[in-house]
Structure 1
Amino acid sequence: MAGDGGGAFERDRSYLTTRITADGRDGRPVEPGRYRLVIARACPWANRAAIVRRLMGLEDVLSMGIAGPVHDERSWSFHLDPGGRDPVLGIERLQEAYFRRDPGYPHGITVPALVDVPTGEVVTNDFERITLDLGSQWTAHQRDGAPELYPEKWRDEIDEIARQVYEDVNDGVYKCGFARGQAAYDSAYRKLWERLDRLEERLTGQRYLVGDTITEADVRLFPTLARFDAVYHGHFKCNRQKLTELPALWGYARDLFQTPGFGDTIDFEQIKQHYYVVHHDINPTGIVPRGPATGGWLSPHGREALGGRPFGDGTPPGPPPPSERVPSPA
C-alpha cells in the first residue's frame, strides 16, 4: 500500500505473474495435488479465488490453506492452524513461501497466493489472473457441470464492467479508507457512490451484471458487497448508505450469497477481526464491533423474477469440505 503526495491511496500492483497453465508454458503445469491455494477469509481479493475454486469443483485437486484474520507487518500467518503452522506447507507465515521464491522479495505479502508444494515457493499472487486461469486452465480437473464464468461472447463487456468495479468499488473503498487528505477522500467517495448508483440502476432490471448467468464480473463485485456493511460503511467511511438500503444491490448480493459457492466462503467474524484489529492507524483501540446482524443475508430476495440461470447449462457445486465450512449468518 502506498499514497501519493495529495494523500490518495495507491495500491502496489507489482505481482508475481508466473502462470499455472495446462501446457506448462511458464514451467508450472497444472497437476492435481501439486499446488496449494492460500487465502484469508478476511481478504476480498482472496475471496474471489475461493469462490471460483468452489464453483469449478477443484477442492480435490487444489488444496486450500487458510491464513488467520490477524497479521503484523511481516505477513499473513497460520495462527488458526494447530501449532500455528500450515499443515501442508509447514510454515508459520506466508512470507516464508515468498522468500523461498525470492529471498529479497520487495513487495507486499498478499493473498491469494498459489504455492508450489514440492518447493514451497509462491508461484503467483496475481489475483485477477488466478481466477481466470482456474476457470480456463484447469478444465481437465473441473467438476461435471462447472459453469463458464468468462464466455467468449461476453468478454469485452465483462472486462469493462470489471475494470469499472475494480477502480471505483473494489479498490474504491480502500481509497476512501486509506485516504490521507480530505480532497483525496472526497474524490474516492464521490466515485464510489457514482459507480454504486449506476450498478443499482443496472441491477434493477437484470439479475446478473452481464448476460443471464453468473460471470467473472459477479465474482469480482460480490466480495466487496459482502464486506460493505460489516466494515466499509463505518471503518472505511463509505457511509452515504448501507448496502441494506440499496434495494437492487442488496437483493443481488443476497441472491449470490445464497448461491452455492458464494456465501459459503464468507466468515463475517474473521472479516471484522482483520479490518478492525490490523488497521491500527484507523482503529487504534482495536475494538471489534459486535454488529451488524447478518441473518438478513438469508432472507428472501425475489431476484428469481428477473429470470436468468445462475450456472447457465451447468449445475451448483456440492457442499464445501467439512474443514472449509464457515459459520452461518446470525
Structure 2
Amino acid sequence: MMKKYLLLLLIACSGSVAFAQSNWDKTPYQTKSLASDGIKDVFVKTSGGSISVSGSGESPRIEVYVRGNNGQELSKEDIDKRIAEDYDLSVTVSNHELHATAKRKHEGGFNWRRQLSISFKIFTPRQVATHLNTSGGSIHLDNLTGNEEFSTSGGSLHIDNLAGIIKGETSGGSIEVSNSKDNIQLETSGGSVRAKNCQGKIKLETSGGSLHMEGLNGTIKAETSGGSIQASDIEGELITGTSGGSVNLTRMACSLEASTSGGSMHVDMTRLGKYIKLDVSGGHVDLKVPGDKGMDLDLSASRINTARVSKFSGEWEKDRVKGSLNGGGVSVKVDASDSLNLSFN
C-alpha cells in the first residue's frame, strides 16, 4: 500500500548557488522515520538544495533543512506560508522506493526574495541504489553499495566508501572520492578532482581544474583540459593527460600513458607495468625507472640527459635513443619537445 508523507520541503531557484549550501549543523526543520520501509532505492529531485545519502548504520530516516534566500533564518510559520503559496512538495514511499521531489508552482515572475533553500539528509541501509539530481547544491554519498547515479549543476560531489556502479557529474563544483571501488565515473566542468584509496575501473574528467590521485589500483583514465595532474602510489594502468598544466607522478607501479600540451612532466616509477608512453609538447621530462629491468627504449627529445648505462644495445644519440636495455622487455616511449632527463632507481 502506498504511504504518502507530506514533508515541508523546499527549493531554491535554478542555478542559485549562494544560498543552496547544506546546513547539516542546524536542527532539522522536519524529520521522518523510514525504519519500517525497507528502502532499496532513493529518488531525489530538487532545484536548489544539497543532498546527502548515508548507509552508515544510523536509524533510517529523512531529515529536511530549510532556510531562506542568502541563508536567511525563517520562522516555521514563514516557511509554512511560503511553501503553501509557492511550492509543490512531497515524499512518497512505495515498494521500498523513497521518492522526494520539490518544485515551484510558478516558474515565471517568481519573487527571488521569497525563495527557499532545502537540503535533504537521508539515512538508509547500506544496500541502496540512488538517483539524485539538484541544480543548486552539493551531493554527499557514503557507505553505500549498489548503483549510484547523481548530478548537480551548481555544487560539489563528495563520495566516500561506495561500492558498485558509481556515476556522478557536476557542472560547477569540485569532486572528492575516497575509499570506493568497482566502477567509478565522475565528471566536472568547473572544478578539481581528488581521488584517494579507490580501486576498480575508474574514469575521472574535468574541463576546468586539476587532478589529484593517490592510492588508486585498477584501470584508470583521468583527464583535464585546464589544470595540472598529480598522482602517487598508483597500481594497475593509468592513462592521463592535460592540455593546460604540468604532470607530476610519483611512486608509480603501473602501466602508464601520460601527456601534456602545456607544461613539464616528472615521472618516478618504482615498478614497471606493461608499458610507459609519455608525450610532452610544452616542456621537459624527468623520468626515473628501475635500472635493473629489461626495457625497449624509444626516446625522442631536444636533448637526452642520462647517467652512463651498461647492457644497452642500439642507437644512442643526443636527441634520439632506440634500443634494448638489460636485454629488452617493457616498452618505454617518450616524445618530448624539450629535454629528457632519464635516471635510474
TM-score tier, shorter chain, comes to under 0.3
- Give TM-score scaled by structure 2 length: 0.22
Q: Tell which has more relative contact order, 1 or 2 (C-alpha 8 A, sep 6+).
A: 1
Structure with greater helix share of residues: 1
- Give TM-score scaled by structure 1 length: 0.22
